[in-house]
Structures are given as structure tokens and as C-alpha cells.
């Protein structure tokens, strides 16, 4: 596999540099900016609705809602919808605007964005292996997710990623036609071994774990490499030179400009 002709731009949690994470407004911004993928996190409610949310236990720093449980898996979808996920700006992103009134989207609402062309969905399935009560089992997650993707005929527009390779195995077993990607952190084994362990042909390492030798070894073995989460031009440039296939970024418009695509 040679160097990619076009680097995929994945809008991390939509476009977190500018809009609250995992909101429809953030996803729409990324789509309109021209991102190739919107990246989102997925959890499940007590009534098994998949929702776009990163935090199994909602952080009051970002989410505002009623007194009571903050555990997504203990709330029904209707209860979760009482929470606002846009009113509080994330202080880590100084250019981020608030979007008061935004609600945590059901995955169905996010997939409805597929009526717009030109982008795909990078869906990260969240688990906390040491706290299994916070999420469905890997098998149940796979069933719920695959059913929604198939119902909408989106198999060719979805990439499923997870740090939890059990989830990837269940998705692959149920729906081998849906591509899957193995997330990993800074301390990772070599990418080819990682892909083999996860049974996938795409790996998504933390961007600082990436260098050109590792990418070239991966490409020689037919493995794609998508970096997360790089937000600075100097990191983008290093990853471009390393030959990555895609970059997950909180600033998809900025990366598209950097690539000369805006
Ligand atoms: O998109 C992958 C990367 O962002 C994983 O980390 O914390 O955003 O789920 P996190």
C-alpha cells in the first residue's frame, strides 16, 4: 500500500474546537466544513437507546441537568434528554461557542444526517471494562449498533472504532461488511501486531505514537492508520509527512485549510 492520495479529515466529536462536543450543531458544522468523517462517541441508556455521548457519568463541567443520577446507563432516553450538553462551554477550548438548549443526540438523530452526502460516520463505541455496569456487553452493543446501521443501509458510510477489541470482534462477527478500527494510546505495540490482535485492517493510534516507519510498515501489510486527536498545524504536518491515511481533529475546518481543501 503506498502513501494515501488524500488524507481523511475526521471531525472529533463534531468540531469540539468551535462547538460543544457530540452535538448535532457540531456535527453539522463539520459536515458543512467538508470533513470526510464525523467522529462521535456512543453509549447506551437504560432503555437501550444508543446515544452520542463521551462520558458514561455526565460531568457537570460540561453537562447541566436535573438532580439525581449522572450515569447515562441508568437513565432512559427521555430522562437523558432533560440534560443540556451545550450551555456550558468547555474551558479547554477557548474558541468554543456555547449552544444552549442542545440535547444529547440519539444515534438515530445523528444517522439521520446521512441525508446529506459527502461524509461518513466514525463511531467510537465506549466501554469501561473495569466498570461493566456502565455500558452494555460488547455483544449487545454490537447488536444495537449493527441493527441501526443496517436499517438505514449505511454499512458503506460507517467505520466502527473502539479501544475495546471485544466490541470490534462482536461487530465483525455480526457485520463483517462494516469496517472497524482499533484505537490505541501512546504506549502501543507495533501497528501490524495491533491490527492482527484486533482482527481489523485499520488502526487508530494516539498521534504521538505515530512515525513514518510505523506507518510504512502498516501500509506494507495493507493496514490503514488514522491518528487521534491532533489539533496543531505542526502536528498535522508531522502526521502528513509520516503518511497517515486520516487525522482525527477537533478543528476539521482548520485541518481542511491546512490541506488546501478550503
Ligand atoms: O477518536 C478517538 C479518540 O478521540 C479517542 O479518545 O477520549 O476522544 O474517546 P476519546
Q: Quote the pLDDT of residue 172.
A: 98
Average pLDDT taken over every residue of the chain:
96
- Measure CA of the first residue to CA of the last residue in the chain; give whole Å: 27
Phi, psi (degrees; rounded to nearest 5) at 212: -65, -35
pLDDT above 90 as % of the chain: 95
Check if 41 has its Cβ closer than 6 Å to any atom of ligand 1. yes
Ligand 1 centroid – CA 228 distance (Å): 7
* CB of 164 sitting under 6 A from ligand 1: no
Q: Is 54's pLDDT higher than 90?
A: yes
| Nearest protein CA to atom 1 of ligand 1, as residue | 228
Catalytic residues, by residue number, are: 12, 54
Cα separation, 164 vs 149, in Å, equals 20
- Interval 197-240: pLDDT, tens: 999 999 999 999 999 999 999 999 999 999 999 999 999 999 99
**pLDDT tens-digit series, residues 130-181:** 999 999 999 999 999 999 999 999 999 999 999 999 999 999 999 999 999 9
Strand pairing partners for 222?
none
H-type alpha helices, the chain:
24-33, 77-80, 107-111, 138-151, 165-174, 191-198, 212-220, 233-242, 252-258
Ligand 1 atom closest to the CA of 41, numbered from 1: 9
Pick from 12, 128, 168 the residue to mutate for probing ligand 1's pocket: most ligand atoms within 8 Å of its CB. 12
Which residue from 16, 14, 83, 98 is spatially nearest to 45, judged by alpha carbons? 83
- At residue 262, the pLDDT reads 83
3-state SS class at 34? coil
Place of cell 456487553: 137
Pocket test for ligand 1, best of 122, 124, 159, 251 (most atoms within 8 A of CB): 124
- C-beta of 124 in contact with ligand 1 (< 6 A): yes
Residue range 123-129: average pLDDT?
Answer: 97
Mutate to test the pocket of ligand 1, among 37, 41, 235, 249 (most ligand atoms within 8 A of CB): 41
Alpha-carbon distance of 208 to 163, in angstroms, equals 17
Q: What confidence tens digit (pLDDT) does each residue in 73-119 have? A: 999 999 999 999 999 999 999 999 999 999 999 999 999 999 999 99
Amino acid at each position: 500500500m503506498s502513501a494515501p492520495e488524500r488524507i481523511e479529515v475526521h471531525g472529533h466529536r463534531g468540531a469540539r474546537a468551535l462547538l460543544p462536543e457530540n452535538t448535532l450543531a457540531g456535527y453539522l458544522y463539520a459536515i458543512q466544513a467538508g470533513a470526510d468523517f464525523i467522529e462521535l462517541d456512543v453509549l447506551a441508556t437504560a432503555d437501550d437507546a444508543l446515544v452520542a455521548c463521551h462520558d458514561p457519568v455526565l460531568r457537570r463541567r460540561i453537562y447541566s441537568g436535573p438532580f439525581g443520577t449522572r450515569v447515562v446507563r441508568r437513565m432512559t432516553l427521555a430522562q437523558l434528554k432533560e440534560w443540556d450538553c451545550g450551555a456550558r462551554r468547555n474551558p479547554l477550548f477557548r474558541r468554543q461557542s456555547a449552544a444552549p438548549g442542545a440535547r444529547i443526540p440519539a444515534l438515530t438523530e445523528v444517522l439521520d444526517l446521512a441525508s446529506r452526502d459527502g461524509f461518513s460516520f466514525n463511531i467510537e463505541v465506549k466501554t469501561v471494562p473495569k466498570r461493566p455496569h456502565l455500558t452494555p456487553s460488547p455483544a449487545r452493543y454490537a447488536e444495537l449498533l449493527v441493527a441501526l446501521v443496517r436499517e438505514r443501509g449505511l454499512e458503506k458510510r460507517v467505520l466502527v472504532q473502539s479501544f475495546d477489541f471485544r466490541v470490534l470482534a462482536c461487530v465483525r462477527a455480526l457485520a463483517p461488511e462494516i469496517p472497524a478500527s482499533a484505537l490505541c494510546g501512546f504506549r502501543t505495540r507495533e501497528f501490524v501486531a495491533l491490527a492482527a490482535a484486533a482482527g481489523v485492517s485499520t488502526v487508530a493510534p494516539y498521534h504521538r505514537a505515530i512515525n513514518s516507519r510505523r506507518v510504512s510498515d502498516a501500509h506494507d501489510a495493507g493496514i490503514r492508520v488514522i491518528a487521534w486527536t491532533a489539533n496543531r498545524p505542526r502536528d498535522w504536518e508531522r502526521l502528513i509527512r509520516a503518511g497517515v491515511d486520516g487525522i482525527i481533529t477537533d478543528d476539521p475546518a482548520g485541518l481542511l485549510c491546512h490541506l488546501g481543501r478550503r
